[in-house]
Amino acid sequence: MATQQQERQPFHHPPVRPDWLAKLTEEVLDPSQPIIDPHHHLWRARPDRYLLEDLVADVRTGHNILATVYIQCGSDYRPGGPPELQPVGETEFAAAAAQACESGNYGPLRACAGIVGYADCRLGDRIDPVLEAHVAAGGGRFKGIRHSATHDPGIAPTAPPGAPPGLYRDPAFRAGFARLQRQGLTFEAWLYHPQLADLRDLLRAFPEQKVVLNHAGGPLGVGPYEGRRAEVFAQWRAYITELAEYRNLCVKLGGLAMNVNGFGFHQHVLPPSSGELAAAWRPYFEHAIATFGPDRCMFESNFPVDKGTCSYPVLWNAFKRIAAQYSESEKAALFHRTAQCFYNLPPVG
């Protein structure tokens, strides 16, 4: 039984250290492969500022990134007005970045071509005007919301106040969640592997709602899960196999460079190579692809969060190493087609 002190262990995202990342460089693999990066953030208020010009600098390191999808992270909320509408400021912030790209100043890149914001599903029917405000602010780019459910008694939230336990089973949450399909919006599910039964139950209740599971389902490797990787993998694997039966669910392959996953590459003297990352992550991604199929899987950068562990070119090289065994059509799905279809983006490649 964990002690009370252990129940609140924090595992914050590793800081970005450019000098450390520069100690390892790689030639970009398969540089012509078209890519949509379906999961990144922008922010100005955190210690590691990451704005459009920072994203563009990473994108221009050699991979063929043609479009991106912005995912909510609490950036640039409106400073006043009704609390439930304050998150619309984040969509306005991301839409401004998209407009800057569409001006042609950054070449063919279409950053923030899709925007995912936040709305509190516990608002129930009162979520409708919030969703409508997001859609208006997005200028045709707003695709859906993320309402994270990450909760574990052994891990303190990296973004307080965190989520209450069992959020996706809460009738109040489901009342708002039910409004998404009416407006043709998607949902990003972010929770840890011990919680995946909650997502299974939600999908069973809403079989028509388009949902994507973030960060490969959040297999934990720190706190009470440290040193239990085989046990965690077996539990995670069983859940992923069950979840693949729900055809309205896709999965993002990435996000495993976060501290909570316990691989610890950010603690090494040198940054990890793409080969090291591929070796560590391959069992998870291969199982997801085998069960969901490439047409329901998409590689994601999760930048700049994962930049605390590896550089952008090394990260996508790792994905390309894992994808090398698949056909050209399967690679197209993993690198851009699944994301394009899920978010209804213009085709690339």
Answer whether residue 2 is part of any domain: no
Are the beta carbons of 48 and 15 closer than 8 angstroms?
A: yes
Over residues 170-179, the mean pLDDT reads: 98
The answer to whether residue 260 scores a pLDDT higher than 70 is: yes
Cα 148 from chain centre: 11
The answer to whether residue 1 scores a pLDDT higher than 60 is: no
Tens-digit pLDDT profile for residues 72-102: 999 999 999 999 999 999 999 999 999 999 9
Answer whether residue 144 is part of any domain: yes
The answer to whether residue 3 scores a pLDDT higher than 50 is: no
Structure tokens at 140: 């045709």
| pTM across the whole model | 0.96
Answer whether residue 348 is part of any domain: no
Residue type for position 71: I
Query: What pLDDT was estimated at residue 346?
Result: 87
Over residues 9-31, the mean pLDDT reads: 95
Answer whether residue 141 is part of any domain: yes
Cα separation, 294 vs 319, in Å, equals: 13
Domain that includes residue 213, residue range: 16-343
The answer to whether residue 133 scores a pLDDT higher than 60 is: yes
Query: What pLDDT was estimated at residue 337?
Result: 98
The answer to whether residue 291 scores a pLDDT higher than 90 is: yes
> HEC states along 66-97?
EEEEEECCCCCCCCCCCHHHCCHHHHHHHHHH
Q: Where are the alpha helices (DSSP H) in the chain?
A: 18-21, 52-59, 88-100, 128-138, 171-182, 196-205, 229-243, 274-292, 312-323, 328-332, 338-343
Burial of 4 (0-12, 13-18, 19+ CB in 10 A): exposed
Answer whether residue 137 is part of any domain: yes
Over residues 126-136, the mean pLDDT reads: 98
Task: Return the bridge partners of 145, or none.
Answer: 117, 187
* Mean residue pLDDT across the chain: 95
Burial of 169 (0-12, 13-18, 19+ CB in 10 A): middle
Query: What pLDDT was estimated at residue 349?
Result: 63
Are the beta carbons of 134 and 119 closer than 8 angstroms?
A: yes
The rounded percent of the chain whose pLDDT value lies above 90 is 92
Q: Is the model more confident about 347 or about 247?
A: 247
Over residues 100-108, the mean pLDDT reads: 92
Answer whether residue 146 is part of any domain: yes
The answer to whether residue 338 scores a pLDDT higher than 70 is: yes
Answer whether residue 88 is part of any domain: yes
Answer whether residue 338 is part of any domain: yes
Q: Which of 162-166, 215-219, 249-253, 301-305 has the lowest average pLDDT?
A: 162-166
CATH number at residue 257: 3.20.20.140
> CB 341: neighbour CB atoms within 10 A?
16
Q: Looking at the chain, how many residues does it have?
A: 349
The answer to whether residue 340 scores a pLDDT higher than 70 is: yes
Cα separation, 123 vs 139, in Å, equals: 24
The rounded percent of the chain whose pLDDT value lies above 70 is 97
Task: Return the bridge partners of 303, or none.
Answer: 40
Q: How far apart are the first and last CA of the chain?
A: 52
Using 50, 70 and 90 to split pLDDT, how confident is the model at 9? confident
Residue type for position 255: G
Over residues 167-191, the mean pLDDT reads: 97
Tens-digit pLDDT profile for residues 307-323: 999 999 999 999 999 99
Domain count, the chain: 1
Closest CA to 343 of 65, 92, 113, 133: 113
Using 50, 70 and 90 to split pLDDT, how confident is the model at 348? confident
Are the beta carbons of 218 and 259 closer than 8 angstroms?
A: no
